[in-house]
Amino acid sequence: MGLARELARLRPNSSGLLPNANIEAVAASKLTGQVPDANAPSGSVIQVVNKLYTDVFTTTGSQTTRIPVTDFYVDITPISSSSKILIIVNLSVGFSSTPEWSWFVDRTIGGTTTQVGNATYVGNRMNGYHGGPQDTDAEVDELFSYSHNTLDSPSTTSSIRYQVCMQDRWVNYTAKYINRTGNDQNTGFTTRGSSALTVMEIAA
């Protein structure tokens, strides 16, 4: 009877699987291979997509329109609709004069675009991440660094595009540059920079 009972524990259920109640503890040393992404513990990084942006981008902006930074985006397709997406942005920015600007990340799913991680509108204030004025007279031979991270909840398994955008905050638009200084002199003391956009799918 003992052997028959033990053999019965090895009989698959109607789904072709062993019932959980029939599986005893397994030593950690016996566990090998990779846990399927869909079964990853909460907080696990499921996938990472990164864009190192080394192009130079120039805009004089618009007070009412977000200007997408050309080719500064990443696409990611979550494996689970409950996943979170961690967005990390680092920018190198130069200015032609006193900057009045802000920047954003737009999320596009299908034909719907939404700002993510930005502030709440208060009065006439712009609700971007952050931006100028850096000071009363930005140095045209300097690069300024900006960074931001936010945790998005897109609730989808469709492809998502995260796009970095810029926008002016005043009517006297001044030139702003990604990855170069305002004067961009061809000298040994002038710097060209790089920027980066990284998104990570995090298991819920």
3-state percent helix, strand, coil for the chain, nearest multiple of 5 = 10, 40, 55
* Measured torsion, CA atoms of residues 77, 78, 80, 86, in degrees rounded to the nearest 10: -160
Q: Exposed, middle or buried, 201 (CB in 10 Å: 0-12/13-18/19+)? A: buried
Average pLDDT over residues 61-87: 90
What pTM does this model have? 0.79
Strand pairing class (144-152; 84-95): antiparallel
Q: Exposed, middle or buried, 141 (CB in 10 Å: 0-12/13-18/19+)? A: middle
CA distances (Å), origin 92, targets 78, 82, 178 = 29, 33, 6
Q: What confidence score (pLDDT) does residue 101 get?
A: 77
Q: What confidence score (pLDDT) does residue 156 get?
A: 97
Quote the CA–CA distance of 36 and 24 in Å, as a whole number.
Answer: 21
* pLDDT(122) > 70: no
Would you give the distance in Å from CA 139 to the centre of its chain?
A: 29
Domain ranges of the chain: 36-202
Strand pairing class (112-115; 144-152): unpaired
Average pLDDT over residues 73-90: 97
Average pLDDT over residues 57-61: 82
Interval 151-164: pLDDT, tens = 999 999 999 999 99
Domain covering 36-202 in this structure, CATH number: 2.60.120.1340
Interval 84-107: pLDDT, tens = 999 999 999 988 876 677 888 999
The least confident of 20-29, 93-102, 112-121, 158-167 is 20-29
